[in-house]
Amino acid sequence: MDNSTFVYVTFIRTSPERLWAALTQADFMKRYWFASHVECDWKVGSPWRLLFPDGRVADSGEVLEIDPPRRMVIKWLHESPELKAEGPSRMTMELEPLEGAVKLTITHSMDRAESELIRKVSGGWPAILSNLKSLLETGEIVVKKF
């Protein structure tokens, strides 16, 4: 079966615990994700929702796997009609501790050739993760608008 996949790897000078908290705490997430945040209780089977600043649901899904502070897998469905029609994707975050840093790998994939969702997240993830890295390392974000 054809699929579409986007992989992004970055190295962040922080601890796995601090990075995990930044990835899962709504108030901190708003600082690097353009005022959007996730609502979730971070347990397998739990619903997962990414909310725009005005409260509208941007994306929804379910926690498929969770192993703090190492790995999470989310079933991800974009809520816009054209992208929702493609069906759910799968987003995996993996944190690998290194000396003084953490290797963060995001893999976002869909069982669909030439997915428009994967094309769009390939532009979004780099901006979001650049902000996350900069915020954790310097206290400031890099990209103000996206």
CATH label of the domain that carries residue 20: 3.30.530.20
Q: How far is CA 39 from CA 5, 35, 105, in A?
A: 25, 13, 22
Cβ atoms of 34 and 145 closer than 8 Å: yes
Q: Is the pLDDT of residue 146 over 80?
A: no
pLDDT tens-place string over residues 42-73: 999 999 999 999 999 999 999 999 999 999 99
Q: Which domain holds residue 32?
A: 4-138
Task: Measure the CA–CA gap between 129 and 119, rounded to whole angstroms.
Answer: 16
Q: How many domains does the chain have?
A: 1
pLDDT digits (tens, 9 = 90+) for 135-145: 999 999 998 87
State mean pLDDT over 87-98: 97
Is 102 domain-assigned? yes
Which residue, 53, 61, 4, is CA-closest to 30?
A: 53
Give domain status of residue 146, yes or no: no
